[in-house]
Structure 1
Amino acid sequence: MGFWLWRLFFFAFAEILLFHGFCSSEPAPNYSFLHQATSAPPLSYYDYIIIGGGTAGCPLAATLSHNSSVLLLERGGSPYGNPNITNLSSFGRALSDLSASSPSQRFVSEDGVINARARVLGGGSCINAGFYTRASSSYVAAVGWDSRLVNESYRWAEKVVAFQPPMRQWQTAVRDGLLQTGVSPYNGFTYDHLIGTKVGGTIFDGEGRRHTAADLLEYANPKGITVMLHASVHKILFTTTGRKRASAHGVIFRDASGNKHIAYLNDGEKNEVILSAGAIGSPHLLMLSGVGPLDHLKAHNITVVLDQPLVGQGMADNPMNAIYIPSPAPVEVSLIQVVGITSYGSYIEAASGENFAGGSTHRDFGIFSPRIGQLSTLPPKQRTPEALAKAISDMEALNPIVFNGGFILEKVRGPLSQGHLHLVNTNPNDNPSVTFNYFQHPQDLQRCVEGLRVIERVIQSRPMAPFRYNSLSLPVLLNMTASSPINLLPHHANVSTSLEQYCKDTVMTIWHYHGGCQMGRVVDSDYRVIGIDSLRVIDGSTFRDSPGTNPQATVMMLGRYMGVKILKERLGN
C-alpha cells in the first residue's frame, strides 16, 4: 500500500510542477553540424544554400543532406535549453520578449495589428500555440501536389513532432458545446481536415514539452549538412555572364559580430539557392537582392536584377476574433486542442487558464495577452505603444478571479482580403512595411459574424454551463472583451455596436500570415522563381490561402515534400 501511495504522490507532484511551468527545458540534441556563424570561413561552397532554418527550412535541409552538401543559414539562435520555448506553461514569454536576442521579432502591420515573426532555429514552430493539423484534400488537389507524397511527408514529420493532446474540462466542454450547437459530425482525434468538430494534434508532448521543426534535423545526414546560427543573410548573389537570364550562385551573410561571409554554389546546373525565410523574410530578401517591382527597387537605390512587380503582393493574415468567458469553476491551462470546422468558412477554437507569461508574479491571459501584442480593447489604429503599456498595467491590477476563464475564438478561412509588403530601408534586420487589409473583402467579414454567432451558441450550450455566469449574456461578454480593463462588472449592460463592427474593432492575429511570393505569380509549380535560374522559394510565402485550420503541419510537410522531389530530380528518377 505504501508503494502505491508513493506513486500517487509522485505523479500528483509531477502534475503540479508541469502545471506551474517548472518542468525542465528540452536537452539539446547531439547535432554535430550546428555552429555559430562566427566560426564560418570567409568563403565556402555547397550544393544547396537554404536561407532560413524555420518550419520549412529544417525538414528541407534534413532531406537534401542525404545526397548533397547543404548549408542552412538561420538568423536566430538555437531553441534548445530555452524553457520559454520548450514549456507549454511558459507560452507567451518568448513572444513578449522584445530584446534583440529574442526568438520572436515583433512587427506591427500598417493595419495596426501587432504581430510576430520567428527568429530562431525551428521558426514559427518554436513560438506558436502548437496546434498540428493537415490541409484538406481539396486544398492539396487545388495546389497540384502529389497526394501520396503529401501523406508520406506529413507522416515523416508526425513521427517526431506530433502528439495527441490530453482532453481536460475546458476543452472537453468546448468540444461538446460545438457538437450540441450543430458543428458536426464528431471526427474524434485526427490530423485530417474534416467538416465538423475534432480534436487535433499538438507539438507539445505528454509532459508539456514543445517539439519543433528543429527536431526534424535528427533525420539529417550529419556529413551532408552545416547549420549556421546567428547568420543574417544580406543578399543573394546573381550572375548573368554568358546567360540569357540571371542565375543565383551564392549569398552574402554576416555573423553576430558583423563579419562578412560569402557562400557560393558548387559548379553544377542542379545546385540551387533556396529561400525559406517565411512570408515576411522571403519577399523582403528578394527585393533587397534586386528581384521585385522596378520603380520600388530604384527608389531604394537597389540594382535591379529582375523587374517582378508581384514580389510582396498577395500578403494575407487570417483575422482572428475572440470572446472571453470568465468562469466560476477552475479551468486548466490549455492552448488550441479542439476545432470546429464550419461549412461556411469560420474555424472555432479555444484556449483557457491563467498563464504567467511575464514572470511568476504576473498573471496573464496567455494566448490573448497584451504582453504579446494581443490587444482587442482598442481598434487596431489606436493600439499605440502607450496604449499597450496601459493595457498591461490594467491587466496586472485585475482581481485574480478574472483570470479564471477562457477564450473561444473564430478564425476566418482563406482569407479573401489581401495586401502587400514594401521596403522601408535596405537593412535586412529591420521589418519591412506590411499591409494585410483585414476584412476588406465582405465575405471575410460575414464569416467572422457567423463565427461569433456559433460562439454565442456554444457559450449558451449545456456542456459550457459549469464555466459561465448565467447573468452574463453575449452582449455583456462582448463588452467585457472589448473594454479596458476586463472585469466582472462591465461598464455597460448592452453593446451598441454591430457584430460587424466588433469584428473590425477587436481583430487580432493568430500568426498565420502568408503570401508575398505566391505560386503562379512569383514561383512556378516547382517553386522555382519565375525568370531566375537556380533559385526557389519554399515556405508559406508561396501560399494563396492558409492551409487547414493552422498551417504549421503543411509548412513542415512542404519542406519534406519538396526535398524529396528535388532529390529525385537530382538523381534522375
Structure 2
Amino acid sequence: MGVWFWRLILLSLAGIIFSPKHCVSQKETGRKYKFMQDATSAPRTSYYDYIIIGGGTAGCPLAATLSQNHNVLMLERGGSPYGNPNITNLSAFGDPLSDTSLSSPAQRFISEDGVINSRARVLGGGSCINAGFYTRASRHYVREAGWEEKLVNESYKWVERVVVFRPPVLQFQSAVRDGLLEAGVLPYNGYTFDHIYGTKVGGTIFDQNGHRHTAADLLEYANSDGITLLLHATVYRILFTKERSNSRPVAYGVVFKDAHGLEHRAYLKQGTKSEIIVSAGALGSPQLLMLSGIGPAHHLREHNIDVVLDQPLVGRGMKDNPMNAVFIPSPTPTEVSLIQVVGITNFGSYIEAASGENFNRDSQQNFGMFFPKIGQFSKLPPKQRTPEALAKAIEKMESLQEEAFQGGFILEKINGPISKGHLELRNTDPNENPLVTFNYFQDPRDLEKCIQGIRIIEKIIDSKAFSPFKYNNMSASSLINMTANRTSISLAQFCRDTVMTIWHYHGGCQVGRVVDRDYKVLGVDALRVIDGSTFNYSPGTNPQATVMMLGRYMGVKILQERLVADETK
C-alpha cells in the first residue's frame, strides 16, 4: 500500500490507537507504572530505538507516543511524583518550591539578574510544581511555528482527555474576572482554552478535589512493553561518532549515572533511523548540548570539553517573562485559588490572580505563590535579594498574625518578551545549575507593557466588582507602594524593582538557530531537542499546554516519518 494511505490511517486513528485503555479511572491518583524503575537497577549497557533525555512536560507525552511502535528509553534525573502529597495537593503548592534540599522536586536557581527561580527535578517536569493553569497557544503562534493545525488540535485534545479540568471559579476569582471587564479587557469569552483577546476562564490540571494531574499521567497512553523509564538517571553527555573525517557527527548513545554514581551507557540500535531526543528543559537542554561538545567552541574549551560542533547559538536567546504582582489585603476571607481567570490585553500584557495564601503556623510554612520561602520576594530590587535579606523577610512574615495573609495577588506578565539573555556553563557537573542571564526589561518595549499592565491592575482594584476584597481606605496606588515597600514609586520603577518570575523561561535551543523546524539539531544527525528551550517566545498566557502538546505532536510526526521511510525502502 502507498505512503499516503498509511499516513492517513495514522492521522485518522491517532486519537483511538493511543487512547488510555480505562477512561473512567484515568484521573485517579497514586498510579505507578510497571515500566518505571530506579536507574540503579538498569544494566550497564543497553540498546533502544529512541533515547529520550528528560521525563518532563514534553518528554512524557513524547515517550508515550513513540512507545506504541518502537522501543523507548526515557531517562529522568528526578524521582516519581506519585505518593508525594506536596506535589499532588493544591494546598501544598509552595512546599516543593520552598524545599532547597537535593531531593526536592524543584531545584532552585538564581539568575545573574538576581531573580530567584526554579527548575523541575521530577517525572512530569514543571507540570508537577506549577500553578496549574491550562491554556492553548494562539492560532497565529501555531501558524508561525509551521505546525499542522489539525494535528496540533488533535494533540491538545489527547492531552486534555487525561489532565485538564474546569476550575471552580469562586468569589475572589469572579471579582477579578468582573473587574477585568470593568477595566475594559473585553469581550468576555467564558470558559475556553483558546488564546484570544479579552477575559476568560481557562482550564486547570487540578481536579475537583484539588489534586494535581501532571504530564506523568500521560504515560497512561504508553505501550508498557515498548518503554523503559529510569528515575534518578542523570545524563552526563551524549556520544557522537563520525563515519568519515569530513562527515557530520552522528549521535549514537548517552552516558548516565544512577543515584549511587555508577556509570551506565545506553546506545541506539544500529541500522535503523533511531534518534536521541533531548527534552531536559530550557536550562537542561542547552546545558547538556554544551557538556556533549555542541556549543560555542571557545566556551567549551574553557571547560576542557572536546568540541564536536562549534555552534555559538546554543545557550543564546534565553528569555523569562517578567512578572509583577500587587498584594491586596482583604477585609473578608478569600478562597484558596491559583490561576483560573486571565485577561489577555491587546497591548501585550496578561492579567491573572491568586488568592487565599495559606499560612500554617504549626509547621511555619507558607504555601502561596508569592512568599519569600519560594523565592518570590518583591520588597527589595533583585540584586538586593540576598540570603540574609530573604531570611529576615521570612522571620518577619512568620511573626505576623494570620489575618495579615488574608487577601490575594493580582499579577501581570508581559508576552514575548523582547528582551533576551544567554546561558553558559558554570562547570561540567550536570547536577549543578548553569549560569543564566535574562536581562529583564532591557528592551523598553517590555517595560512599557508592564506599565500598562499595572494600570489595568489599578483599575481592577478600584472597580465596583472587586470592592468586597479591598479596604476602603486603601487606594490602588497605596497598595502598589506597600507591595514595593516604597513611597511614591513610579510604575516604571515598580516594574524594575518588584520583578519576579512566573517560571515561564525558555530559549537556548531555538528553532531556526540551533534546531530546524523538525527539531533536529543543525549540523549533526540522529539528535533532536523537543521542549521549551526551542521556543522563540512563550506560547499563550501559560506554556504548559503547548509543551505537552508539542511532545505528543512531534511523537506522531516522528512515527509518520519512519512509516514513510520504511514504506519507500
For normalisation by structure 2, the TM-score amounts to 0.93
Q: In structure 2, what is the Cα distance between the partners aligned to 1:269 and 1:521?
A: 27
Distance apart, 1:539 and its partner CA:
0.1
Match of 1:325 among 328, 344, 354: 328
Aligned to 1:366: 368
Aligned to 1:305: 308
Distance apart, 1:399 and its partner CA:
2.4
Aligned to 1:415: 417
Aligned to 2:543: 551
The C-alpha deviation readout for 1:196-221, integer Å capped at 9, x for no partner, is: 00000000001100000000000000
Work out whether 1:521 is the aligned partner of 2:519: no
Q: Is the 8 A contact 2:458 2:477 kept in 1?
A: no
Q: In structure 2, what is the Cα distance between the partners aligned to 1:390 and 1:288?
A: 38
| Paired amino acid for 1:517 | C
Q: In structure 1, what is the Cα distance between the partners aligned to 2:298 and 2:236?
A: 21
| Paired amino acid for 1:553 | A
Work out whether 1:542 is the aligned partner of 2:544: no
Q: In structure 2, what is the Cα distance between the partners aligned to 1:189 and 1:126?
A: 23
Q: Is the 8 A contact 2:334 2:355 kept in 1?
A: yes
Aligned to 1:184: 186
For normalisation by structure 1, the TM-score amounts to 0.93
Distance apart, 1:480 and its partner CA:
1.4
Distance apart, 1:479 and its partner CA:
1.8
Aligned to 1:402: 404
| Paired amino acid for 2:353 | A
Pairwise mapping of residues 119-198 of structure 1 onto structure 2 (< 5 A)?
Answer: 119-198=121-200
Identity across matched positions, percent: 70
Q: In structure 2, what is the Cα distance between the partners aligned to 1:90 and 1:78?
A: 17
Q: Is the 8 A contact 1:48 1:69 kept in 2?
A: yes
**3-state SS of the aligned residue for 2:325?**
strand
| Paired amino acid for 1:453 | R
Distance apart, 1:413 and its partner CA:
0.3
Aligned to 2:288: 285
Aligned to 1:52: 54
Match of 1:342 among 326, 339, 345: 345
**3-state SS of the aligned residue for 2:561?**
helix
Q: In structure 1, what is the Cα distance between the partners aligned to 2:549 and 2:299?
A: 34
The C-alpha deviation readout for 1:63-94, integer Å capped at 9, x for no partner, is: 00011000000000000000000000110001
Q: Is the 8 A contact 1:269 1:534 kept in 2?
A: no
Aligned to 1:451: 453
| Paired amino acid for 1:321 | N
Work out whether 1:200 is the aligned partner of 2:202: yes
Work out whether 1:62 is the aligned partner of 2:54: no
Distance apart, 1:339 and its partner CA:
0.1
Distance apart, 1:497 and its partner CA:
2.3
Aligned to 2:222: 220
Q: 1:261 to 1:363 in 2, by over 3 A?
A: closer
**3-state SS of the aligned residue for 1:569?**
helix
| Paired amino acid for 1:544 | N
Structure 2: which 5+ residue stretches go unaligned? 1-26
Aligned to 1:21: none
Pairwise mapping of residues 17-166 of structure 1 onto structure 2 (< 5 A)?
Answer: 27-166=29-168
Q: In structure 1, what is the Cα distance between the partners aligned to 2:40 and 2:168?
A: 42
The C-alpha deviation readout for 1:439-495, integer Å capped at 9, x for no partner, is: 001110000000000000000001101000111112210121112xxxxxxxx7xx3
**3-state SS of the aligned residue for 2:230?**
strand
| Paired amino acid for 2:446 | D
Q: Is the 8 A contact 2:86 2:92 kept in 1?
A: yes
Segment drifting more, 289-298 vs 262-271: 262-271
Pairwise mapping of residues 235-246 of structure 1 onto structure 2 (< 5 A)?
Answer: 235-242=237-244, 244-246=247-249
**3-state SS of the aligned residue for 1:76?**
coil
The C-alpha deviation readout for 1:323-380, integer Å capped at 9, x for no partner, is: 0000001100000000000000000000001314x77543636000100000000000
Q: Is the 8 A contact 2:94 2:367 kept in 1?
A: no
Aligned to 2:14: none
Work out whether 1:568 is the aligned partner of 2:560: yes
Aligned structure 1 segments of 4 or more residues deviating by more than 2 angstroms: 25-28, 358-365
Aligned to 2:7: none
Q: In structure 1, what is the Cα distance between the partners aligned to 2:392 and 2:161?
A: 44
Q: In structure 2, what is the Cα distance between the partners aligned to 1:363 and 1:393?
A: 11
The C-alpha deviation readout for 1:360-411, integer Å capped at 9, x for no partner, is: 5436360001000000000000001111111111111112221110000000
**3-state SS of the aligned residue for 1:249?**
strand
Aligned to 2:18: none
**3-state SS of the aligned residue for 2:513?**
coil
Q: In structure 2, what is the Cα distance between the partners aligned to 1:295 and 1:468?
A: 56
Q: Is the 8 A contact 2:240 2:251 kept in 1?
A: yes
| Paired amino acid for 1:89 | S
| Paired amino acid for 2:507 | G
**3-state SS of the aligned residue for 1:565?**
helix
Distance apart, 1:27 and its partner CA:
4.2
* Count of residue pairs the alignment pairs up: 538
Match of 2:469 among 463, 467, 470: 467
